[in-house]
């Protein structure tokens, strides 16, 4: 049953990532991979929010945590795409943008995670 939960939640997370990143990137005219950045930071925020709510406020079955955090958010955020797009910027000579992408997403990810934790504790 755990495999089915992970498969379904992971598929939904991957489809959500594709839809959100594509929608954001379609509205961006620059070379910066803003769609992936938005997905990763939003995913960090959601992870902080959901993990804190599950740990501190809700007594839900372990399958819920597995589905939401490992399945959905594991497939929703995308470290491999982030790394690939950063390397693509380096290959095209946009080393400054690559550095901004790498450092910016990590810092923004921590901030998003923190905001999610804070929000969960306020609810």
**Residue 59: predicted pLDDT:** 81
**Angstrom distance (rounded) from CA 98 to CA 27:** 20
Burial class (CB in 10 A: 0-12, 13-18, 19+), 80: exposed
**Angstrom distance (rounded) from CA 37 to CA 25:** 10
pTM of the model: 0.84
Overall number of domains in the chain: 1
| Residue 81 lies in domain | 2-122
**Residue 91: predicted pLDDT:** 93
**Residue 84: predicted pLDDT:** 83
CA dihedral 66, 70, 71, 74 (to 10 degrees): 170
The stretches in the chain having pLDDT less than 50 are none
Give the three-state DSSP class for 67: helix
């Amino acid at each position: 049953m755990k495999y089915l939960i992970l498969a379904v939640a992971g598929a939904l997370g991957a489809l959500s990532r594709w839809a959100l990143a594509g929608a954001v990137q379609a509205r961006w005219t620059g070379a910066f991979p803003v769609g992936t950045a938005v997905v990763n930071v939003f995913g960090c925020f959601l992870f902080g929010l959901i993990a804190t709510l599950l740990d501190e406020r809700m007594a839900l079955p372990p399958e819920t945590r597995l589905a939401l955090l490992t399945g959905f958010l594991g497939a929703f955020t995308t470290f491999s795409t982030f790394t690939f797009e950063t390397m693509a910027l380096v290959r095209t000579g946009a080393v400054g943008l690559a550095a901004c992408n790498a450092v910016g997403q990590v810092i923004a990810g921590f901030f998003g995670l923190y905001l999610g934790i804070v929000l969960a504790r306020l609810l």
